[in-house]
């Protein structure tokens, strides 16, 4: 595995960890639905960006 793969997997690990921690810690006291909605939109965009970056050089 090259450096790009290691960094990408580390970023995905951080994103997955944040998907468990942020909603149950930071966003616990946010009464509005758009607090968590904004988080999940940003999370999804970050995950899409990291996966696109990881798979950009894949070729057959």
pTM above 0.85, yes or no: no
Is the dihedral angle over the CA atoms 18, 24, 25, 26 positive or is it negative? positive
Q: How far is CA 46 from the centre of its chain?
A: 5
pLDDT in tens, 7-57: 888 999 999 999 899 888 888 887 777 778 888 999 999 999 999 988 887
Q: Residues 54, 8: contact at Cβ < 8 Å?
A: yes
Q: Residues 8, 33: contact at Cβ < 8 Å?
A: no
Distances (CA, A) of 35 to 19, 21, 22, 47, 60: 14, 15, 11, 19, 42
């Amino acid at each position: 595995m090259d450096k790009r793969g290691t960094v990408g997997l580390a970023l995905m690990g951080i994103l997955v960890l944040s998907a468990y921690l942020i909603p149950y810690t930071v966003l616990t006291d946010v009464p509005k639905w758009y607090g968590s909605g904004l988080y999940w939109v940003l999370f999804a965009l970050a995950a899409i960006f990291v996966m696109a970056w990881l798979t950009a050089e894949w070729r057959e």
